[in-house]
Amino acid sequence: MKFFTLSQPIAICGLAVTVFLGGCQHSTCKVSRDVSIPQAKSSWQTFVTAYLDSYFAENPAFAVLQGRHEFDGKLPDWSEAGLQKHITWLEGQRTAALAFAEPALNSSERFERDYLVAQIRGDLFWLKTADAPHRNPYFYADALDPDPYVSREYAPLAKRLESYTKYARAVPIALQQIKSSLQGPLAKEHVAIGKITIGGLADFYAQDVPKVFAEVRDASLQMEFAKANAAAIAAVKEFTTWLDEREKTATGSFALGTEIFEAMLRETEGVKISASELEAIGRKDMQRNLDELKTACEKFAPGKTMDQAIALASAHKPDGSVVEVATRQLAGLEKFIRDHDLVSIPGAEKANVAEAPAYKRWNFAYINIPGPYEQGLPSTYYVAPPDPSWSKEKQDEYVPGMGSLLFTSAHEVWPGHFLQFLHANRSPSKFGQVFVGYAFAEGWAHYTEELMWESGLGEGSPEMHIGQLLEALLRDARLLSSIGLHTQGMTVAESAKLFLEQGHTDMATAEQQARRGTFDPAYVNYTMGKLMIRKLRADWTATRGGRAAWKQFHDAFLKFGGPQIPQVRRAMMGDADKGELF
């Protein structure tokens, strides 16, 4: 499972909204499309198990990320027929799940049924309503990523080389299907992200992958690998050329429109709210953070302007490589959580830090977490160096200050994504282990930044507070930018100005964040998710001792896995729920 974090003043973050589609490309992959209504003899757990098995067969790249390595090397069927078959399968599974009547299910099963149906609705939104497979190359990027074979040590290197070779053979077929599925003029920003995330694979295949597998001494395996890898490189380069042609006719028409944007909130996150109402909520949170930033800047640099104080704080760069400094930070963050008893830490899994591969350096930071079917594997928190093509000034600005880096590390690892998935992977629901939503994951990770500051991380240092607040303002700017870009006619340049002037980012981050909003409108979920969690915490702990019950709240919240937050709220609040999400 991968999550991206876009930290201020660093580049770009966010959970990819990619939906993994289709069936297998190989005749050996048998996919059941039985969508009949379950008979009385069927149990809910039998249905869930069958659903997961079929979903993995439909989405083999997603299955591999979860640790189901019987699907190694396979990619989805992204032909038009494959896309339509997958839609039909999802619709049939939704009907089948809803056919389980309330009296036949206990409370846990009813919760899981609603969780499953909501997940299907989210998939169908991106497939049908947003029409992402036909509009946006980024839709396919995560499934094409060979990272599990290259960096995840789930099997001996020779076995992983076999899997990678099988994957490489599937790449040319997949890219041909993607070209056939992408229809009409594409948005220029969508073409651009396709050239980075998919086009960038060519160099990764050619330069990085052979080094990973160089120690494999089997000449036959190496020969098959070289042949398949060369074909994959050629296919990616040809795809990039194809995107270059699409760029000549590309448009600025990336916006979802108000109706579809509001449907995104409703169908993918269960949040029934108008774009204008959400904008008002976002502006209120931004003003709260701006007021706190003003106070922190006055304490940090008396007599200086806010911009001057921010510049001073941001100029305190890591002493040494970012990887080395972030590694040291993780030990301190874990100790802080234990010392302050903020949330339970289940298990003894580890998180390492590494430099991000080139084709993923459009994000400053992200974490790769093994799926629930893996055993004993570490996670990797990746950080990216600045683009060497930038000016020295721009590169220097891009490297985060110590405060921003500290709260980025909290977001990605302790107690953010990494800790959340330690809990999710131990959820009593296997479905909850596998499917973790965008607002749940990114809302939690962003929520923990402020939680750590409130709990004393940074020992009251105004410089560290500035770092935390810059992270919060970045996410506020994302929410407002997403609404502006997709419902109000905001241009990419206007979005960048918003990040620069109100989010107080550097120029490189502002430009990257603005572009990201065009292909990832759901990055609204960082602030939206955080605010829903904060409201739920306040309401749930109000009758349980307030702040003294924070750990109890965190453990209770995380045990669900990763459903839509409104569903978690209903389960935790019960009859006391007034339906107030914010």
16 domain residue, yes or no: no
Q: How far apart, in Å, are the Cα atoms of 85 and each of 32, 77, 81?
A: 11, 10, 6
Model confidence, pTM? 0.91
Q: pLDDT confidence of 363, banded at 50, 70, 90?
A: low
Is the predicted pLDDT of residue 239 greater than 60, yes or no?
Answer: yes
My answer on whether 321 and 234 are in the same domain is no
Residues 6+ apart with CB under 8 A from 133: 21, 78, 83, 127, 139, 140, 181, 182
What is the residue range of 542's domain? 264-572
Strand ranges in 265-422 using DSSP code E only, listed in sequence order: 351-355, 365-368, 379-383
Q: How many domains does the chain have?
A: 2
pLDDT of residue 435: 98
Residue at which a domain ends, from 200, 226, 254: 254
Give the β-pairing of 351-355 and 365-368.
unpaired
Residues 6+ apart with CB under 8 A from 60: 24, 29, 71, 74, 75, 76
Give the number of other CB atoms < 10 A from CB of residue 330.
20
Tell me the Cα Rg of the chain: 23
Distance CA 324, CA 19 (A): 34
pLDDT of residue 22 exceeding 90: no
Same domain for 209 and 299, yes or no, is no
What's the whole-number average pLDDT of the chain?
A: 91
Min mean pLDDT across 150-159, 358-367, 397-406, 480-489 is at 358-367
Share of the chain above pLDDT 70, in %: 92
- Partners of residue 359 on adjacent β-strands: none
Instruction: Clarify whether residues 357 and 459 are in a common domain.
Output: yes
Per-residue buried b or exposed e for 239-255, using 16+ beta carbons within 10 Å of the residue's own CB: bbebbeebeeebeeebb
Per-residue pLDDT, averaged over 381-402, amounts to: 85
Helix (H) or strand (E) holding 176: helix 157-181
SS3 assignment, position 537: helix
pLDDT the model gives residue 74: 98
Cα–Cα distances (Å) from 17 to 127, 172, 279, in that order, read 11, 23, 21
Residue 7 placed within a domain: no
Q: Report residue 539's pLDDT band, with 50, 70 and 90 as the boundaries.
A: very high
Res 392: pLDDT: 85
pLDDT recorded at residue 364: 76
Asked if pLDDT for residue 12 goes beyond 50, the answer is no
3-class SS string, 396-442? HHHCCCHHHHHHHHHHHCCCCHHHHHHHHCCCCCHHHHHCCCHHHHH
Q: Is the pLDDT of residue 268 over 60?
A: yes
Are residues 322 and 226 part of one domain? Answer: no
Q: What is the pLDDT of residue 229?
A: 98
Mean pLDDT of 453-482: 98
Whether 190 is covered by a domain: the verdict is yes
Please tell me the predicted confidence (pLDDT) of residue 360.
65
Which of 254, 279, 301 marks a domain boundary?
A: 254
Whether residue 398 lies inside any domain: the answer is: yes
188 touches 247 (CB < 8 A): yes
Same domain membership, residue 536 and residue 392: yes
Q: Using an 8 Å Cβ cutoff, are 35 and 85 in contact?
A: no
Give the list of residues 6+ apart from residue 542 with CB closer than 8 angstroms, or none. Answer: none
Q: What is the 3-state secondary structure (H, E, C) of 27-96?
A: CCCCCCCCCCCCCCCCCHHHHHHHHHHHHHHHCHHHHHHHCCHHHCCCCECCCHHHHHHHHHHHHHHHHH
pLDDT-derived band at 7, boundaries 50, 70, 90? very low
pLDDT at 427 over 70: yes
Count the neighbouring beta carbons within 10 Å of the beta carbon of residue 211.
9
- Could you give the CA distance from residue 444 to residue 424 in angstroms, rounded to a whole number? 12
For residues 132 and 276, state if they share a domain.
no
pLDDT band of 37, cuts 50, 70, 90: very low
Separation between Cα atoms, residue 401 and residue 184, nearest integer Å: 43
| In the block, residue with structure tokens 């570490």 | 378
**Residue 251: helix, strand or coil by DSSP?**
strand
Task: Give the separation between CA 210 and CA 161, rounded to whole angstroms.
Answer: 10
> Is the pLDDT reported for residue 362 higher than 60?
no
Q: CA of 411: how far to CAs of 3, 108, 475, in Å?
A: 10, 30, 12
User: Is residue 326 assigned to a domain?
Assistant: yes
Task: Give mean pLDDT, residues 250-272.
Answer: 97
Token duo for residue 76: 């989805």
- Residue 238 is assigned to a structural domain of this protein: yes
Average pLDDT over residues 61-90: 98
Burial of 551 (0-12, 13-18, 19+ CB in 10 A): middle
**Confidence check: pLDDT of 121 > 90:** yes
User: How far apart are the C-alpha atoms of 241 and 244, rounded to whole Å?
Assistant: 5
Cβ atoms of residues 554 and 469 within 8 Å: no
443 with 343, same domain: the answer is yes
**Residue 276 pLDDT exceeds 90:** yes
Q: What value does the mean pLDDT take over residues 45-60?
A: 97
Confidence at 26, pLDDT banded by 50, 70, 90: very low
Both 197 and 280 in one domain: the answer is: no
Q: How confident is the model at residue 205 (pLDDT cuts 50, 70, 90)?
A: very high
What pLDDT digit, counting tens, does each position of 287-320 carry? 999 999 999 999 999 999 999 999 999 999 998 8
Q: Are residues 276 and 246 in the same domain?
A: no
Report the C-alpha gap between 51 and 167 in whole angstroms.
24
**384 pLDDT band (50/70/90 cuts)?**
confident
Tell me, yes or no, whether 227 and 276 share the same domain.
no
* Within-domain flag for 169: yes
Do 133 and 187 belong together in one domain? Answer: yes
- 355 or 161: whose pLDDT is higher? 161
Within-domain flag for 156: yes
175: pLDDT strictly greater than 90: yes
CB 191 within 8 A of CB 247: yes
Q: Which of 219, 254, 289 is the last residue of a domain?
A: 254
Same domain, 296 and 232: no
